[in-house]
A and B are shown apart, each in its own frame.
Chain A
Amino acid sequence: MRMSGPSFADWLIGFLAGPDMCEAIVGDLHEQAQSSGAPRRSMVIVTLRALPGLVHLGLSNISAHRYRVELGWMLGLLAAAWAWELNVAQSLAWPVASSISTISPFSIVITCKLAYLTLFALGLIVLMGGWHMINRASKPDWRVRTQRFGATVLAGLVPVLYLLTFPGPYDGHPAFRFVQLALIGLVAVTGLLVSRSMLQRA
């Protein structure tokens, strides 16, 4: 008996690669994540404990209201980063790869890893884009922008640290870790270069 109705991701997976095989794959990923959730939960708890201190470190003389707003912003980023990595990048990598495998010059496994990396990088880019949009909407001073930048990097970094410590479902080859690191570094450096004017004192 199905425990819950199909989500949009379920529908997309079924559309891309046929419902039967993808349901099994996503179910396996879900089951693996459930059974290996302890280290992942530990990292999330450690990060959550560190967040209030990090907000104070960056913004020591702000009002209590502003502090709560910035803490909420950081928590939101962190949740979004984890949700993206677990529910989108991991779940959609295989169906995306299987749908383009006929035109891909690589094997299905390599194509799957590249699809996962691309989705992961898209998540980081969306995080940076979110940082820009919120800054444009609220027009804070450079200190708050810098603090939010730190939050964005932190939010993107936690899943990365997890992935580097514990193998993900598509981490078959050790070289994949270096490709992953290089890609994440590229996105981070690009984000820093694009955003440097926003991090300078006005």
Chain B
Amino acid sequence: MAKGKFLGEFELLVLGALMRLGDQAYGVAIISEIEDRTGRKVSVGALYATLNRMEKKQYVQSRLGETSAVRGGRAKRYFAVTREGQLQVERSSAVLHRMMDGLPSWTKGAIA
């Protein structure tokens, strides 16, 4: 596999959040999902930079959604993982598991 095909840690987190959220994956929901599950603070700028990059790589696709008062009348942009994106998640997860496999038991929690 070429070096550029590997997903970064944050890319993997974002793709995981998109898969969990399904058709409700938009900016604020993605940030909440990652922060709730990882305890890691996510900025809007970092998220959209990553989504923009992965959309160019065709790992995700997006569509404009509805507006609401809480958003100042602005539309949501929903993101979804493409087939290519799913394959990348599977490959990266498999690589991660292969690297962790056989290590002492206390490291298992890191990828559980």
B45 touching A169, Cβ below 8 Å: yes
Interface hit among A1-9, A76-84, A120-128, A151-159: A1-9
B25 smallest CB distance to A (angstroms): 12
Which of A26, A29, A113 has the most B CB atoms < 10 Å from its CB? A29
Q: Does A25 contact B (CB under 8 A)?
A: yes
A99 smallest CB distance to B (angstroms): 14
A20 touching B77, Cβ below 8 Å: yes
Instruction: Return the contact of B48 from the options A94, A107, A167 (Cβ within 8 A).
Output: A94
B64 touching A4, Cβ below 8 Å: no
Q: Does B73 contact A (CB under 8 A)?
A: yes
Could you mark each residue 58-74 of chain B with 1 if its beta carbon is under 8 Å from any beta carbon of chain A, else 0?
Answer: 00000010011111111
B73 touching A167, Cβ below 8 Å: no
Contacts of B76 in A (CB 8 A): 24, 27
Within the assembled complex, what's the spacing in Å between the Cα atoms of A3 and B26?
A: 19
Could you mark each residue 33-55 of chain B with 1 if its beta carbon is under 8 Å from any beta carbon of chain A, else 0?
Answer: 00000000111111011001000
Within the assembled complex, what's the spacing in Å between the Cα atoms of A169 and B31?
A: 11
Chain B, interface size: which category? Answer: 20 to 34
A15 smallest CB distance to B (angstroms): 16
Interface hit among A30-38, A60-68, A181-189: A30-38
Contacts of A119 in B (CB 8 A): none
Which of B26, B43, B68 has the most A CB atoms < 10 Å from its CB? B43
Q: Does A129 contact B (CB under 8 A)?
A: no
Q: Does B96 contact A (CB under 8 A)?
A: no
Within the assembled complex, what's the spacing in Å between the Cα atoms of A112 and B74?
A: 21
Which residues of A (157-173) have their CB < 8 Å from a CB of B? Answer: 167-172
Smallest Cβ-Cβ distance to A30: which chain B residue:
B72
Contacts of B69 in A (CB 8 A): 3
The chain A residues found within 8 Å of chain B, CB to CB, are 1-4, 20-21, 23-32, 34-35, 93-94, 97, 107-109, 112-113, 167-172
Known A3-B68, A28-B31, A167-B41; 20 more pairs at CB < 8 Å: A3-B67, A24-B26, A24-B27, A24-B77, A25-B48, A26-B72, A27-B27, A27-B72, A28-B26, A28-B28, A28-B44, A29-B44, A30-B70, A32-B28, A107-B49, A109-B46, A112-B45, A169-B45, A171-B41, A172-B46
> Can you list 20 A-B pairs, Cβ within 8 angstroms, ordered by A?
A2-B73, A3-B68, A24-B75, A25-B44, A25-B48, A27-B67, A28-B31, A30-B72, A31-B71, A32-B31, A35-B70, A94-B48, A107-B49, A109-B43, A109-B46, A168-B43, A170-B44, A171-B43, A172-B43, A172-B46
